[in-house]
Structure 1
Amino acid sequence: MTFPRVVRSEWIKFTTLRSTWWSIAITAVLTIGIALLITGAIAGSGGPAGFSAITAVTSPVQFTMLLAGILGAIAITGEYGTGMIRSTLAAVPVRGMALLAKAVVVAGAMFIASFVIFLAAALAITPLLTAEQSFDWGSPRGTWLPLLAASASMAVFALIGLSFGFLLRSGAGAIAVTVGVLFVLPIVASFFVMAGPGWQWIVTAGDYLPMTAANQLIFASTSSGPDAPAALPAALALAGWSVGGLLAAWTVLRTRDA
């Protein structure tokens, strides 16, 4: 079976799951709702001098990242739970191809869905903005780059969940570990900010966690000038989590029976 046909098969499986559409729908409700709340609270009162409308749109990533990770996890653990994985691997004997096809579908679908949702959130809050606060659609850093960075981050979160799903083969286990990596570890790392010099390596390591790297990437995409933060370290950290997780998943998939 050729790779395009495998991707098409995975796309059909992914889009026919009710959990896929429920996850995307909840992501849309949270993103648009939180963006409206932030904009109404800040822009409605005049807003601080540094208020950025695009920040209100991308801030919900801190919550919707969990939905992206969970969606990636259940995209594969459901197959292990029902035994469908045996049929998948029988139809696609090259296990690396099956893994790559599912990763392409999950990441691609999450990226596209997230971009549409973020764009819808931007349009939803536009009537609440003053003329000075409105989006500059002609400025890449004012709109398009942050939207792309946030959407790419959501795709990475989904791939992290997918990787843990392949590694653990348990829906509950994969979701628990995904939530731990995306949500719990950044909180733990923040506890050491005020610690002594001997503990600062934990804070430094925390900068490369997925959520922290995503925030840095989004913030860097909105900034310009010599003092702007570098986007490359954050992008490399997110790429490392994606590639490293998929490589680990591929190793386990090759060496363990379905």
Structure 2
Amino acid sequence: MTALASAPRRATHIRPLRLSFPHLLRSETIKVFTLRSTWWSLGITIALSVGISLLIAIASSGFGSGVSPTMVVLAPIPFTMLVAGIFGAIVITGEYATGMIRSTLTAEPRRGAVVLAKALVVSCVMAATTGVTSVIAVLVTAPLVRAEIDWSTPSTSIVPLAMGVVSMVAFTVIGLGFGFLLRSGAGAIAATVGVLFVLPIVVSLFSFAGERWQWILDSAQYLPMNASAALTTPGATDLGPSAIAMAAWALVPLVLGWVVLRSRDA
């Protein structure tokens, strides 16, 4: 009787299973790379980046040395940003669709750790992909562009290329944040495409509205696509405002997604 009476009390001291953060990162990495959508997204990113850069290099090869070779490499970002954002969105919405998110949160109840681990994994994957793609684009377009990248001047070479990597990571995290926030693949993709692509077009329509709405046009420089364009412009000096805007666009949806994950059942 004593043993039976004490058994429930002992059971209450059992701690929930928690993965160490390195194990959680490893788990999230395995999940990301076992998704077909990951390989499709990365493959499309590489193909678009190298293909568009190559086409621009071919088209500009007859115009002398006036074309910046760094811009040739960075020109595909307005197109590949959508792929990056969608990649970030489907990484998490796929788990909600299949119910795997419940297994994830059972293995790791600390929901903030799950959000952080996913953000780190997708950021590293996209950063590595963008870095490798930039190297390939440089090698492919170098014979066609008469001007050479001046690596001795970081502001026209290393800095804009690095900002290109940062921009693609930010676009991916924006999609991931909307995925956590909306929990729907269609909804997260629509929100991501809306912010990255549609919103700049809508804001540009106010150019016909006169000076009364000029403040809207002025604020357009802080939209993700325009902030990325400012960061990746060779020779740009005042990168602070654009960098802050990019960081805010990436972090706000992610933090809101974390809040929703904490307050609602999976």
The match for 2:41 among 23, 46, 63 is: 23
- Residue pairs, 1:1-258, within 5 angstroms: 1-42=19-60, 44-47=61-64, 49=66, 51-130=67-146, 133-219=147-233, 222-223=234-235, 228-258=236-266
For 1:23 and 1:77, the matched residues in 2 are separated by 15
CA drift at 1:229: 4.5
For 1:229 and 1:204, the matched residues in 2 are separated by 19
For 1:18 and 1:138, the matched residues in 2 are separated by 40
CA drift at 1:34: 0.6
**The residue matched to 1:254 in structure 2 has which SS?**
helix
For 1:218 and 1:64, the matched residues in 2 are separated by 14
The number of residues matched between the two structures is 248
Letter matched to residue 36 of structure 1:
L
For 2:73 and 2:206, the matched residues in 1 are separated by 29
Unaligned stretches of 5+ in structure 1? none
CA drift at 1:141: 2.4
| Contact 2:181-2:256 within 8 A present in 1 as well | yes
Letter matched to residue 24 of structure 2:
V
Deviations 1:107-154 (A, max 9, x none): 111111111101111111011122xx0122333223221111001100
| Contact 1:111-1:155 within 8 A present in 2 as well | yes
CA drift at 1:194: 4.1
**The residue matched to 1:45 in structure 2 has which SS?**
coil
Runs of 4+ in 1 over 6 A off after TM superposition: none
Q: Structure 1 length as normaliser, TM-score?
A: 0.93
**The residue matched to 1:191 in structure 2 has which SS?**
helix
Letter matched to residue 250 of structure 1:
W
Which residue in 1 is equivalent to 2:5? none
Deviations 1:2-29 (A, max 9, x none): 1111111101101111111111111111
Report the identity percentage.
52
